[in-house]
Amino acid sequence: MASRAFGTTVALAITVAAAAVVTAPAAQAAAPARATASAAAPTAPVAPVPGRTDYNGDGFADLAVAAPGATVNGKAGAGYVGVVYGSASGPATATKQIVTQDSAGVPDVAEAGDAFGSAIVSADLDRDGYSDLVVGAETEKDGTVERTGLLTVVWGGASGLSGGATLYTGEQYDGVGGRLTAGDFNGDGAPDLATVKWADLQTLSGPFTRAGAAAGTTAYPDMDDMRYLDLASGDVNGDGRDDVVALRHSGDEYDSRSVAVAAGGATGLGPLAPVKGADGYAIEGGEHLAVGRVNGDVYADLVVGRSVDGYDSDLDLPLAKGGMVTYVPGGATGAQGTRTKVFNQDSAGIPGAAEASDGFGSSVAIGDTNGDGYGDVAVGVSGEALGTVARAGAVLVMPGTSTGPTGTGTKGFNQDTAGVAGVAELNDRFGAAAAFVDGNKDGRAELAVGAPGEDAGAGALWFFPATTAGTTATGSSAINNATLATVAVKAALGASFGR
């Protein structure tokens, strides 16, 4: 950081070297520093509200953030996940928790290069009324076997997250846990997981036991060996079952992208099918994905961020200059590729201008920031230069309407925005991750923004309040590794958020 004060935060007595799962909620302040292997189940558990992550069951939404490059007990790149708990006043930035593979009750041990936190999602896997944290470690080794990857669950409970179990381990070079999503794919009421095993989609069906055993596993081989870039899930066709949406590299060109949907069904997912446009060809995809309700109807919509520009595809995709975002509404027959809307920084109402390497679309998220019933869309522009400061980064919030997102009324934020802690610096990559969370349960979603390049790669994250007028910088707060008292070198805190 430069000289400006970072923000109103409170340093905690938490260190990654101590490797504790630290119970964070203020109501549990008297809990021991090292959590027990499992938390007591509530006397009368109530299933979490769909779409709300609530690890401690207090009714307020919580948020997990990844630092996959963090040093843990001297092991560079072992990685950790931080958790910020919700409260009546929103995300409680003074109330946090660190989870590593050296935390009490969490299986395995922290090792150099594990990248614990490669991907994170939340779901009530054991159906005890508390959301559980599922963490991927894409480069985990199994003994001497390289890059098997690993999925771990850390259980939610009345005192927050504690204990855990191994869910799934791949084989050599499978890289399990690099892409991850959760949903109810067969409609039985038990959350399921989907990850990528090498170039194949792999599902784990719930319910899960406390030992981490799934009710079943299914592989969906991809004969084309297409590389998966992102996964997300939601009920795109409104049939009561979640569908899995995948972004994949396709074709021979470096920047060729595709969007495919595997529809949920009574026996699980169907085959991945490309989303096609009005011309009958597959629509162009991207690297970053959000699934949620933008236009206010009963179907989940897709927002695809394509931050890569240049190369051959720009001849066919003029809007790809500087990056682009594609909105695909859901419908009774699934993703409506014939009704897409495409934006870049030259689109009407959107601040800035489309410039090479801006990274418009380097993150995308959907959330209702003003309580009007429409999902607003956050778009990261992590390569944006601010004046002469290259790759300082920014984030934009596009309003949602009955016809999808619109450029009109779009707001922009960066570290030089009044009220935002910090100063825009070279390679901060502010906006590389974004998420919405209604931490105070008022029907309006606060915006979380990650800058994994902050402080020479240590990383940081920011929270922006939500009002009836939408997202505002007034009252925003920030968290960095110093706040958490963790080892900050190349931690990449804020690389991604839980879904």
334-376 pLDDT, tens digit per residue, is 999 999 999 999 999 999 999 999 999 999 999 999 999 999 9
pLDDT of residue 300: 97
pLDDT digits (tens, 9 = 90+) for 198-216: 889 999 999 999 999 999 9
SS3 call for 312: helix
Sign of the dihedral through C-alpha 215, 221, 225, 226: negative
Structure tokens at 268: 């699980």
What's the mean pLDDT in 157-161? 95
Q: What is the pLDDT of residue 310?
A: 63
Has residue 152 got a pLDDT over 70? yes
Average pLDDT along the chain? 87
**CB within 8 A of 287, min separation 6: which ones?**
229, 230, 247, 257, 305, 306, 307, 308, 361, 362
Instruction: Indicate the pTM of the whole model.
Output: 0.89
In which band, very low, low, confident or very high, does the pLDDT at 247 lie, cut at 50, 70 and 90?
A: very high
- Residue 465: Cβ-neighbour burial (10 angstroms; 0-12, 13-18, 19+): buried
Which range has the worst mean pLDDT, 20-24, 150-154, 455-459, 466-470? 20-24
23-60 pLDDT, tens digit each = 333 333 222 222 333 333 333 334 445 567 999 999 99
Q: What does the CA dihedral 97, 100, 106, 112 come to, rounded to 10 degrees?
A: 180
Amino acid at 55: Y
Give the residue carrying structure tokens 């958490």.
484
| CB contact at 8 A, 152 and 106 | yes
pLDDT in tens, 408-447: 999 999 999 999 999 999 999 999 999 999 989 999 999 9
Contact (CB, 8 A) for 402 and 418: no
CA distance 449 to 462: 5
Whether residue 7 is predicted with pLDDT greater than 70 in this model: the reply is no
User: What is the arithmetic mean of pLDDT over 138-160?
Assistant: 94
pLDDT at 92: 80
**What is the pLDDT at residue 485?**
57
| Residues 211, 37: Cα–Cα separation, whole Å | 12
Least confident of 208-212, 318-322, 475-479: 318-322
Dist CA 438 CA 444 (whole Å): 6
Please count the residues of the chain: 499
